[in-house]
Amino acid sequence: MRARVNGQPRRVPMIAAGAAIAAALLAPLPAAAAVSRDDTPSGYTRYVRARAADAAGRTELAARGYAAVLAETPDDSVLALRTYRQAIAAGDRPLATRTARMLDARKLLPADGRLLLLADALLAADWKAATLATDRIEQEGVYGFAVPVLRGWIAQGSRKGDPFVALDAARSGGPIAMAYAAEHRALIALATGRIDEGVAAVKALSTGGGGRAVRLQLAAASALAKRGDRAGALAMIAGNDGTLTAARKIVTDGRPLPGGVDGPAEGIAALLTRTAVDINRERVTPVSLTLARLATFLAPGNAENWLVTSEILSAGEQYESALAALEQVKPGDPFEEAARFSRVQLLVRRGEPEKALGEALAMARAGNTADDWVRVGQVQTELERHAEAADSYGKALALADKAGATGDRWALLLQRGSALDRSGNWPAARFLLEEAVRIAPDQASALNYLGYAQLERRINLPEAEKLIERASRLRPDDAAITDSLGWTYYLRGDVPKAIATLEAAVSSEPAEPTINEHLGDAYWTIGRRLEARYAWRAALVFAEAKDAPRIRSKIDTGWSPAVAAP
């Protein structure tokens, strides 16, 4: 089955292409090639090994290797820049700072390196150097949107000038600068003892929920708890979010609540983390990792900084470093559960799903919450143990119903229904999927799953078309849903409309095998045989093992009902 969960078809995990090459390069080289006459590896050999470690995601080893070669060839600016980036990825602040200063002296320092020098000044409470670094940031312009916030926190820390006047400069900096300044006006108010003003601002900014709201709520609750206002702190962190629930227990127990923003280091770290998240939302870049790492340098006790860093490292397939970042989240922190969940996901991505499942089951048996069993079900799905996943989602659904948590009930129904579908129990699956659509008629993922599951079985096609058309209206830019819509038109006999729709889906997701196979079938139907084979070849690149023989057969001998896409 290839029906979608959350609007997306299942994809084959991509393995880093350079892993085998990197492993070979990291292995000991033959003596004649690897070492000089005094048995000391040559600079070239050390560089090759550093590049191999880099390719294998062993960031700390790569950073040390680059640094060793750079020490012998300090005039190599390209190597200096590579060393700087690798030191950031490895979280090696001393090495990153040394290479940043080296690059700065040659006028080759990247714009984000200026933020590293600012962080170094802040940690030394060198307000003059911090001000000079901020001046340079403003002159270079790349991070000009952040300058009002930087100046505000420097004024707060140095006690020279009015931090709120500094923030007013954001009014001429555009909507991004104003949005960041609004958050930090609240945080600076909290840090300067204007608690009521800060709390009111946080409440106004937190209406939409989400990670940004949780971060601000924790900061406000921490300030209130320090003032002795336990009731106010608890009210500030009300809600069903797991992090907020953990925070309330900390406050109730009378323990110090992490997440406070007490001065420039924590404040600017919060700015950098928010910026890293915003950049990473578009695509993973070295800049987003740099900003997240700088936040951990400035505020190593803030768990969110480590979570964001881990997420970015994981997206770059640097799994060892990502796991190491999660280990910095301390037991008892409000984000502890989020870190444990991230660890399970990382183990799956690293190719250790059985280990991930063991850890997820241990957590679920200890905590026995709906979220715990959802996590178990997700890992079981990765392992294609769909009947077991259905049971786990069933436990999650029962626990959520018992707790009266009805807001996301449709999502649990969808997850259990999809697991039952994949386990071969379509009647039970259909009942749950229809219930999910009934209680959440505007959730595109539920509409699309139910519609596509019926397309696969070639049943109830008019109703399936209505469901998928509604999903497409809700999410017109979702390639998976656009593919479902095109496949609907194909099965309903409108092949020209199907091809136009499927071509649009392929342009959005050119590597997606299901979409390419559908498009190939549609091309063949109207006699465009060459284009059909081209689409099928594209589908074969990332096809699942069970689908590859069918696609190869079409490429070799053409389409027939026996090899039609499901």
pLDDT tens column, 423-442: 999 999 999 999 999 999 99
Residues 43 and 99 placed together within one structural domain of the fold: yes
Q: What's the burial of 339, exposed, middle or buried (CB within 10 Å: 0-12/13-18/19+)?
A: buried
C-alpha dihedral, 153 to 159 to 163 to 166, nearest 10°: -90
Q: Distance between CA 182 and CA 175 in Å, rounded?
A: 10
Residues 532 and 451 placed together within one structural domain of the fold: yes
Region of 272 on the Ramachandran plot (φ > 0 left; ψ -120 to 50 alpha; else beta): alpha
Read out DSSP for 150-201?
Answer: HHHHHHHHHT-S-HHHHHHGGGGSHHHHHHHHHHHHHHHHHHTT-HHHHHHH
Residues 65 and 80 placed together within one structural domain of the fold: yes
Residue that terminates a domain, selected from 41, 74, 109: 109
Mean pLDDT of 357-370: 92
Residues 33 and 101 placed together within one structural domain of the fold: yes
Examine residue 239 and state whether it is found in any structural domain, yes or no: no
Q: What is the pLDDT of residue 19?
A: 36
Instruction: Categorize the per-residue pLDDT at 367 as very low, low, confident or very high, splitting at 50, 70 and 90.
Output: confident
Examine residue 531 and state whether it is found in any structural domain, yes or no: yes
Please state the pTM of the whole predicted model.
Answer: 0.77
Residues 355 and 417 placed together within one structural domain of the fold: yes
Residues 422 and 540 placed together within one structural domain of the fold: no
Domain CATH code at residue 506: 1.25.40.10
Residues 417 and 431 placed together within one structural domain of the fold: yes
Q: Distance between CA 302 and CA 310 in Å, rounded?
A: 13
Which contiguous run of DSSP H or E holds residue 504?
A: helix 495-508
Q: What is the pLDDT of residue 156?
A: 97
Give yes or no for residue 59 having a pLDDT over 90.
Answer: no
Mean pLDDT of 337-348: 92
Best CA proximity match to 286, nearest among 118, 54, 89: 89
Examine residue 299 and state whether it is found in any structural domain, yes or no: no
Mean pLDDT of 216-245: 92
CB neighbourhood size of 314 (10 A): 21
Would you state the structure tokens that stand for residue 470, as one six-digit string?
């509604």
The total of structural domains in the chain comes to 3
Residues 417 and 494 placed together within one structural domain of the fold: no
Residue that terminates a domain, selected from 402, 421, 440: 440
Would you state the structure tokens that stand for residue 235, as one six-digit string?
């009210």
Give yes or no for residue 35 having a pLDDT over 50.
Answer: no
Q: Distance between CA 253 and CA 141 in Å, rounded?
A: 47
Residues 370 and 423 placed together within one structural domain of the fold: yes
Would you state the structure tokens that stand for residue 413, as one six-digit string?
């129904």
Give yes or no for residue 249 having a pLDDT over 70.
Answer: yes
Examine residue 72 and state whether it is found in any structural domain, yes or no: yes
Q: What is the pLDDT of residue 202?
A: 95
Residues 384 and 459 placed together within one structural domain of the fold: no
Residue 71 lies in domain? 20-55+58-109
Q: What is the pLDDT of residue 410?
A: 95
Examine residue 417 and state whether it is found in any structural domain, yes or no: yes
Q: Distance between CA 9 and CA 526 in Å, rounded?
A: 26
Instruction: Categorize the per-residue pLDDT at 284 as very low, low, confident or very high, splitting at 50, 70 and 90.
Output: low
Examine residue 14 and state whether it is found in any structural domain, yes or no: no
Residue that terminates a domain, selected from 384, 414, 440: 440
Q: What is the pLDDT of residue 40?
A: 54
Which contiguous run of DSSP H or E holds residue 319?
A: helix 319-326
Mean pLDDT of 350-360: 93
Q: Is-contact 415 431, C-beta < 8 A?
A: no
Examine residue 470 and state whether it is found in any structural domain, yes or no: yes
Ranking 59-63, 138-142, 229-233 by mean pLDDT, the lowest is: 59-63
Examine residue 267 and state whether it is found in any structural domain, yes or no: no
Residues 418 and 464 placed together within one structural domain of the fold: no
User: Which residues, other chains included, contact 365 with Cβ-Cβ below 8 Å and sequence gap of 6+?
Assistant: none
Residues 492 and 420 placed together within one structural domain of the fold: no
